[in-house]
Structure 1
Amino acid sequence: MRVRRLAAWTALPLAVTLGLVACGSGGDGGSGESNPDAAVRIEIAEPQHLVPTNTNETSGSQVLAALFSPLVDYDEANKPYEVAAESVTSEDNTTWTVKLKDGYTFHNGEKVTADNYLDAWNYGAYAPNGQNSSYFFEKIAGYEDLQGETPKAKTLTGLKKVDDLTFTVTLSQPYSEFRTMLGYTAFYPMPKAAFSAPGVLAEAYEQAPVGQGPFKMKGTWQHDAKVEVEKYDAFPGEKPKVAGVEFRIYQQPTAAYADVLSDNLDVIKTIPTENLSTAGTDLGDRFKQSSASSLQVLAFPTFQEEFSNPDVRKAISMAIDRDEITKSIFKDSQQPARSFVSPVVAGYRDNTIGEAGEFDAAKAKALYQAAGGPARIELSYNGDGGHKDWIDATCNQLKTNLGVDCVGTAEPKFADLLTKVKAKQPVGLFRMGWVMDYPSMENYLGPLYSSNGSSNYYGYANPEFDKLLAEGASAANEDEAIKKYQAAEDLLAEDLPVIPLRYGQNNFGHSTKVTNVEMDLFDRIDLLKIEAVK
């Protein structure tokens, strides 16, 4: 997953095909001559965290993608290839050997060694550290002993150092896609300087993370304002074509859009919904679209009595006209979703939720009343993500089609919403967005719906689902794994802990001061391709 998991903005659901598509007309602007001494300015929302093992949302992962180099990345076919790793191999899909490329150093001068990966992963897996991405270490042997309030151990038995550039990872059961997982943010290394004592993160580290990637921090994280990075000259991999990046933090997408139009911001990662109809005219061919892996859902707090009945959840889903909202609000820039996984991954099937995805106001109201649905529905969302229009439209449909009172409630920032739902504070239904961490059906199912999933904020638990997921993970090959994952998805269609609404595509834009602006399936601007122009 190079992460991207939880998406703050109305990240656009996927076009089913891969590859970049430019829209509009006109030139990129500028003289066209590259200016490698210039920094570029990219819009993000306020990150929730900037520690690799604690970052599971798209804005934080965009910053970390500048500061760190992953063990593997993904090609145009979504297949992994080595980056910071020299090789990742296994003969049995249980014991994996990771060999690191020589020559990598952290931004403080420390040489990158196997210890840096072991230290970071053990820190992330240790439950008392409360890391959001702890779940991603679950497959490593010894993980269970690191869980609970008073764990039996502090380090994973499945991690062993071989030499300074080699370590082995033994899994608790075979997992053929483990190499694919290693592109995710949680698997970045951390330097010795990140820890004030063994297993204890230094208090100041998150404010100025030290990585081993193409850029290093310039100063500290200026909360609600910006994070600045500059090119790291000692980076041994592909060099960036710009001198630095200012990740400028916005709470309102419309403000970011206005700044792009006036050349006061270089890249907006998501065009506001209210500007989609004019973006082609406003920006010309600086309005860009490309495939994404995002999925927008409305999630139920299934642990609350009023939403514990699957029929209530099904009725709400049937009362929402996805096609109309996609057309009227998103101008067909998104694709209605009726499944739990994205079309970009192997194993995707269209319309797995069946009747629950069919708009039928009369049947929805009858089912809702028979199931004893609540008279009032609250839809919570993050106000910094451009969601108000579609939330209001959804509320209006629920009022009309179910005869209920419906209100949309905005939390100032995505981080605020995540904090509330994680603490199980009453927020009603809540908007969630997912961007895949790594290309696999399992990544759309495990983190979001398994009993101990890192992003299971709805309290969903189904032992049979967990069993099928585990069987898929340990399958001998992809085809067998997909059969198990599809059976698990069928259970989700019955239980409906969330309502799939839309698949996204990237709808982004840039100023006249940059060129070669590309966005990947993980909602990240490619920082090695972007160029400033004179």
Structure 2
Amino acid sequence: MTSRRLAALTALGLTGALALTACASDADPQAAPSDASGGIVTVHNGEPQNPLIPTMTNEVNGALAVQNLFAGLVYYDAEGGVHNEVAESIESPDNQTWTITIADGWTFGDGTPVTAESFAKAWDYGAALDNKQSLSYFFEPITGFSYDENTSLIEAGGLVVEDDSTLVVSLAQPESDFPIRLGYAAFFPLPESFFEDPEAFGEAPVGNGPYVLESWEHDSSISLAPNPDYTGNRAPQNAGLELVAYTDEDSAYNDLLAGELDIIKNVPSSAFATFEDELEGRSVNQPAAVIQVMTVPEWLPEFQGDAGMLRRQAVSHAIDRAAVTETIFSGSRTPATDFTSPVIDGWTEDIPGNDVLDYDADLAADLWAQAETLAPLGDYTLQIASNADSDHQTWVDAVCNNIRTVLEIGCEFFPYPTFDEYLDARDSGTVPGLFRGGWQADYPAMSNFLGPIYGTGAGSNDGQWSNAAFDAKLAEASGATEPDDAVELYMEAEAILFENLPGIPLWYNNATGGWADTVDDVAFGWDSDPILYQVTKSE
């Protein structure tokens, strides 16, 4: 969730090189020979929402396990740089037809080889509508993908396995940043055992990554051991990982201070003012590819039509983002000025229409009054929903205080006891008000903050918004061959978002994490997650 050299290395800054060579760097300054010794590293986590199947994992608790159990064609270093992992090369003459060569020597934990077919069948399964995979929309660019019928990418010719080491991918249009996406979970390979029993596999996944699954005690912990057959650059430098499922961040932080936990992913707001002193150099507070928004459900009648648009604008103008980020987060958040992240190359705060994010109490009150004239709500209470097992009520209360004072309406926190219960309600479209939409980038590119969240039918379009002009602008931006052209088109897409406000941007998150004096070599990456394979711990 990273200042460092991120902007120079990631996203569109890489696409020019990838369009020519289509092969990411093999050199990783953090890579080291496997030691796999010392102690087991305990890490703050939560209960995954879904089985541990790569194409079903689109939330942070499951992602931390999946990213360490599997290896993709490429992976991302701490700064967001892209490096080959299972891929020997990724090449294209036109950014539309990509030839991927699989490196020799890769196997799954069951001893079966990782081949071109391992990727093709996994992607084909993930894209098929009948399989109802959360990340199916990531395969939309591949020839044969359909939202209307259960088409096979393999049968449609979008994926062609030429031999065990060669996969040819055909896209519907040129997309110069396609290789950057291939380190994300949606594009991980699967062994044959998955297709024999997907349900059983989700409980006990067999991957090809730096770790193998030892056990998964639901609502308690996930235990991972070093994979002795892993041949990539992310070789474990510890004896294993224990991902501990906490139901609140204060408990995790207190365990860290007591020496009962090695790494905490997120510092609770109660410790924002003190954690850097309390942890004495064992913490991070650095920009990350993470944004918080309030999603506006399109099913709520009070936010539909002309009156609904006025209300969206009124709520946005009523929020004093600068005051909330300083008072509640002690400067560990930055008020948002767009829908992406400042650590992603191509980011700019000069988006037409983003003045709707400015705090303006008088304008907010006037806009709400205009909406009441068009479609009166009368005595109304706005609810803001999120999970109660993480540290969200504090900022929701602060935002509600703004809204109650400025708009003279009711506002309250609508809590779901756990993160997975909140996600289930969100995914089923039963949330009764605005709801928290936290987005941690899947891969380091502007496109990842836009299409997956706001594209029609996209898997993380939780507010169910749809806009043909926005979809068309995304497609145009994806097909741009020059990075500067793509940036301009993504800016135009963001302008459409500001016209419609399917979500109300709040702030960009810093990675705020910490570790005990029991571990060394701890770093947090561009996406805010700790890089666990390199952590060392004495026995």
Partner in structure 2 of residue 205 of structure 1: 201
CA shift for structure 1 position 213 = 0.6
SS, match of residue 385 in structure 1: coil
Shift in alpha-carbon separation, 1:240–1:160, aligned structure 2, 3 A: same
Partner in structure 2 of residue 247 of structure 1: 243
Q: Which one-letter code corresponds to 1:307 in the other structure?
A: F
CA distance in 2, matches of 1:51, 1:363: 47
Q: Which one-letter code corresponds to 2:159 in the other structure?
A: L
1:435 corresponds to 2:458:
no
Question: Where do residues 124-143 of structure 1 align in structure 2 (5 Å cutoff)?
Answer: 124-143=126-145
- Of the three residues 103, 106, 109, the one matched with 1:104 is 106
SS, match of residue 81 in structure 1: strand
Partner in structure 2 of residue 493 of structure 1: 498
CA distance in 2, matches of 1:16, 1:85: 26
Aligned residues: 500
Q: Is the 8 A contact 1:79 1:180 kept in 2?
A: no
Q: Is the 8 A contact 1:16 1:343 kept in 2?
A: no
SS, match of residue 476 in structure 1: coil
Q: Is the 8 A contact 1:252 1:385 kept in 2?
A: yes
Shift in alpha-carbon separation, 1:362–1:154, aligned structure 2, 3 A: same
Q: Is the 8 A contact 2:40 2:238 kept in 1?
A: yes
Q: Which one-letter code corresponds to 1:164 in the other structure?
A: D
CA shift for structure 1 position 59 = 1.7
CA distance in 2, matches of 1:91, 1:77: 28
Shift in alpha-carbon separation, 1:46–1:53, aligned structure 2, 3 A: same
1:417 corresponds to 2:422:
yes
CA shift for structure 1 position 351 = 5.5
Partner in structure 1 of residue 309 of structure 2: 310
SS, match of residue 508 in structure 2: strand
Gapped regions of structure 1 (runs ≥ 5)? 1-11, 20-33
Q: Is the 8 A contact 1:253 1:384 kept in 2?
A: yes
CA distance in 2, matches of 1:259, 1:329: 22
CA distance in 2, matches of 1:428, 1:479: 38
CA shift for structure 1 position 18 = 4.7
Q: Which one-letter code corresponds to 2:124 in the other structure?
A: N
CA distance in 2, matches of 1:527, 1:89: 30
Q: Is the 8 A contact 1:216 1:231 kept in 2?
A: yes
Deviations 1:299-331 (A, max 9, x none): 101232101222110100000000010010000
Q: Is the 8 A contact 2:211 2:227 kept in 1?
A: yes
1:297 corresponds to 2:293:
yes
Q: Is the 8 A contact 2:36 2:236 kept in 1?
A: no
Q: Is the 8 A contact 2:144 2:153 kept in 1?
A: no
Shift in alpha-carbon separation, 1:500–1:349, aligned structure 2, 3 A: same
Deviations 1:482-518 (A, max 9, x none): 1211111111111111111110111111112101111
SS, match of residue 75 in structure 2: strand
CA distance in 2, matches of 1:427, 1:233: 49
Q: Which one-letter code corresponds to 2:121 in the other structure?
A: D
Q: Is the 8 A contact 2:42 2:263 kept in 1?
A: yes
CA distance in 2, matches of 1:351, 1:481: 15
Q: Which one-letter code corresponds to 1:340 in the other structure?
A: F
Partner in structure 2 of residue 484 of structure 1: 489
Deviations 1:266-318 (A, max 9, x none): 00000000111111232111122233100001110123210122211010000
CA shift for structure 1 position 82 = 0.9
Partner in structure 2 of residue 6 of structure 1: none
Q: Which range is displaced more, 399-408 or 278-287?
A: 278-287
Question: Where do residues 63-142 of structure 1 align in structure 2 (5 Å cutoff)?
Answer: 63-75=65-77, 78-142=80-144
CA shift for structure 1 position 448 = 0.7
Higher relative contact order (CA 8 A, sep 6+): 1
Q: Which one-letter code corresponds to 1:252 in the other structure?
A: D
CA shift for structure 1 position 346 = 2.3
Q: Is the 8 A contact 1:15 1:505 kept in 2?
A: no
Q: Is the 8 A contact 1:45 1:384 kept in 2?
A: no
Q: Which one-letter code corresponds to 2:186 in the other structure?
A: A
Deviations 1:113-145 (A, max 9, x none): 11111111011000111111000000000001x
- Runs of 4+ aligned residues of structure 1 deviating over 6 Å after TM superposition are none
Question: Where do residues 44-443 of structure 1 align in structure 2 (5 Å cutoff)?
Answer: 44-49=45-50, 50-75=52-77, 78-144=80-146, 147-148=147-148, 151-153=150-152, 155=154, 156-196=156-196, 201-219=197-215, 221-238=216-233, 239-308=235-304, 309-350=308-349, 352=351, 353-372=353-372, 374=377, 375-443=380-448
Q: TM-score with structure 2 length normalisation?
A: 0.89
CA distance in 1, matches of 2:454, 2:262: 37
CA distance in 1, matches of 2:286, 2:318: 30
SS, match of residue 277 in structure 1: coil
Deviations 1:31-62 (A, max 9, x none): xxx99231100011211121101111122111
Q: Is the 8 A contact 1:16 1:344 kept in 2?
A: no
CA distance in 2, matches of 1:312, 1:124: 38
Q: TM-score with structure 1 length normalisation?
A: 0.90
CA shift for structure 1 position 80 = 2.2
1:523 corresponds to 2:528:
yes
Shift in alpha-carbon separation, 1:53–1:213, aligned structure 2, 3 A: same
Shift in alpha-carbon separation, 1:472–1:165, aligned structure 2, 3 A: same
SS, match of residue 366 in structure 2: helix
CA distance in 1, matches of 2:286, 2:207: 29
SS, match of residue 331 in structure 1: coil
CA shift for structure 1 position 17 = 7.0
Shift in alpha-carbon separation, 1:351–1:249, aligned structure 2, 3 A: farther
CA shift for structure 1 position 154 = 7.1
CA shift for structure 1 position 474 = 1.0
1:510 corresponds to 2:512:
no
SS, match of residue 96 in structure 1: strand
Partner in structure 1 of residue 32 of structure 2: none
